[in-house]
C-alpha cells in the first residue's frame, strides 16, 4: 500500500508495459503518468521548487512563474497547490484545452502568448514574456527549467536509479528530449555508475536540439525551437528523430490495443522501435523507454479525427 500526506509526494508507480504482445517489440515502457500531476514532470517540478528553497530564492511572498507548453505547467500548479505556493504559467496556443483547464482548476494563473518570435518561435516568446514580468515585479520568481540544474538532478536522483533497480541487466534506455533534463540526468547517472547502459535521445523532426532545421511542430512536449543548454549530445549513445506523423501513427496503434499514451510517449516508443529494428533485430537487448505521459490530454489533438484531417490528412 502507498500512503501519502500530500499529492506531490507520490512520484513513482513502478508500472511498466511490455510491448512484446502489442507490437512484437522487446521493449518495456515505463509509464510515468500515474501520479497526481499526470506526467514525469512532477519530478522536475518538485526539484525545481526544492532548488529555489535551498538557494534561499523562495520568499513567503514569491509567485513562482514558468514557461511551459503543458505538462510542467500542470505539475508545478499541482505542487504549488499541494504546498501552499502561488504559481503562474506562461504558455502558448499549442497547450491543450485540458492542460489549460487543469492548471486553472489547481489554482494557477495562466498567460497565453499568442504570437511567436520570428527566431525562436513560441518558446522564445514565452521566455521573453517571463523576463518582462520578472523585471516588472520582484515578487515573480522564474524557476527556469531551461538552465536550472535541478531539472537534470530530478532524473539523476530519482528516475534513473528506479529504472536501474527494476532492470539491473538494462542495455539501452530511450528518453525523449525537450529541455534535455530527463535525458541528461539519466545519462549522467548511468555514466557515473559505470553500468555501460546506452542512452538514446529521442527528439522530434523540426526541433533544433541536435542541429536540425527548425520546423513546424504541432504536438507539445518534446523538441525545442531554440538550443537547450541542458542537452549534452556527448552523453548520449545515439539520437533518433521522429516525424510527428509517425508519432500520431504510433499513438493510435497503441490505442487500438488499449494503451492510450501521450504524444511525447508515442514519439519515444516510435524512436525506440526505429533504433531497435536496426540495432537489435534478434531482440537480445534489455530495453526500456520512458513514456512521459498518458493520452487523455491529447484527446482533442492526436486522437481527434478532425484535428488529424486538418493537420496530417495523410495519416489514417
145, 66 contact by CB (below 8 A): yes
Q: Write out the residue range of the structural domain in which residue 92 sits.
A: 41-142
Residue 316 lies in a domain: no
The pLDDT of residue 316 is 66
Last residue of a domain, one of 80, 114, 142: 142
Q: Are residues 114 and 240 in the same domain?
A: no
Q: Based on the domain organization, do 14 and 129 belong to the same domain?
A: no
What span, in angstroms and rounded, lies between the C-alpha atoms of 43 and 232? 20
**Single residue among 126, 142, 158 that ends a domain in this structure:** 142
In a shared domain, residues 168 and 254: yes
Quick one: 84 and 12 in the same domain? no
Q: Is 159 within a domain? A: yes
In this structure, what CATH number is given to the domain that contains residue 103? 3.40.50.1100
Q: Are 245 and 187 within one domain?
A: yes
Q: Cα dist. 283→219, 257, 271, 275, 312 in Å?
A: 30, 22, 16, 12, 32
* Residue that terminates a domain, selected from 115, 142, 169: 142
- Point out the residues of the chain with pLDDT beneath 50: none
Do 125 and 261 reside in the same domain of the chain?
no
Question: Cβ contacts of residue 271 below 8 Å, gap of 6+?
Answer: 174, 176, 200, 202, 203, 240, 241, 242, 289
Q: Are 237 and 215 found together in one domain?
A: yes
Query: Are residues 28 and 88 both part of a single domain?
Result: no
Domain membership of residue 21 (yes or no) is yes
Beta strands across the sheet bearing 109-112: 109-112, 86-91, 63-67, 140-142
Note whether residue 125 is domain-resident: yes
In a domain, 2, yes or no: no
Structural domain contains residue 112: yes
Taking only the tens place, the pLDDT of each residue in 168-191 is: 999 999 999 999 999 999 999 999
Task: Examine the domain organization and report whether 238 and 258 are in the same domain.
Answer: yes
Q: Are residues 284 and 157 in the same domain?
A: yes
In a domain, 217, yes or no: yes
Same-domain pairing of 269 and 172: yes
Domain count, the chain: 2
Strand blocks (E) in the chain: 16-18, 28-31, 63-67, 86-91, 109-112, 140-142, 172-176, 198-204, 238-242, 287-291
Whether 239 is in a domain gets the answer: yes
129 with 169, same domain?
no
Amino acid at each position: 500500500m502507498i500512503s501519502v500526506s500530500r499529492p506531490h509526494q507520490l512520484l513513482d508507480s513502478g508500472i511498466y508495459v511490455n510491448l512484446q504482445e502489442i507490437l512484437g517489440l522487446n521493449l518495456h515502457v515505463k509509464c510515468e503518468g500515474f501520479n497526481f500531476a499526470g506526467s514525469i514532470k512532477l519530478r522536475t517540478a518538485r526539484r525545481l521548487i526544492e532548488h529555489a528553497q535551498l538557494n534561499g530564492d523562495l520568499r513567503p511572498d514569491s509567485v513562482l512563474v514558468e514557461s511551459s507548453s503543458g505538462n510542467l505547467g500542470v505539475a508545478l500548479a499541482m505542487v504549488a497547490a499541494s504546498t501552499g505556493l502561488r504559481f503562474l504559467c506562461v504558455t502558448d496556443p499549442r497547450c491543450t484545452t485540458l492542460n489549460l483547464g487543469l492548471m486553472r482548476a489547481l489554482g494557477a494563473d495562466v498567460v497565453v502568448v499568442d504570437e511567436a518570435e520570428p527566431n525562436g518561435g513560441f518558446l522564445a516568446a514565452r521566455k521573453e514574456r517571463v523576463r518582462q514580468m520578472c523585471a516588472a515585479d520582484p515578487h515573480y520568481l522564474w524557476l527556469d527549467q531551461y538552465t536550472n540544474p535541478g531539472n537534470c538532478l530530478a532524473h539523476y536522483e530519482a528516475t534513473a536509479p528506479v529504472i536501474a533497480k527494476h532492470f539491473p541487466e538494462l542495455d539501452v534506455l530511450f528518453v525523449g528530449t525537450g529541455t534535455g533534463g530527463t535525458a541528461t540526468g539519466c545519462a549522467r547517472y548511468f555514466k557515473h555508475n559505470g553500468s555501460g547502459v546506452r542512452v538514446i535521445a529521442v527528439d522530434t523532426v523540426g526541433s533544433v536540439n541536435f542541429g536540425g532545421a527548425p520546423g513546424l511542430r504541432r504536438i507539445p512536449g518534446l523538441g525545442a525551437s531554440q538550443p537547450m543548454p541542458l542537452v549534452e549530445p556527448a552523453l548520449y549513445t545515439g539520437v533518433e528523430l521522429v516525424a510527428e506523423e509517425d508519432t500520431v501513427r504510433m499513438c493510435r496503434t497503441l490505442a487500438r490495443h488499449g494503451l492510450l499514451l501521450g504524444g511525447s510517449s508515442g514519439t519515444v516508443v516510435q524512436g525506440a522501435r526505429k533504433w531497435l529494428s536496426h540495432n537489435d533485430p534478434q531482440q537480445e537487448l534489455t530495453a526500456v523507454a520512458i513514456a512521459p505521459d498518458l493520452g487523455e490530454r491529447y484527446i482533442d489533438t492526436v486522437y481527434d479525427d478532425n484535428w488529424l484531417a486538418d493537420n496530417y490528412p495523410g495519416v489514417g
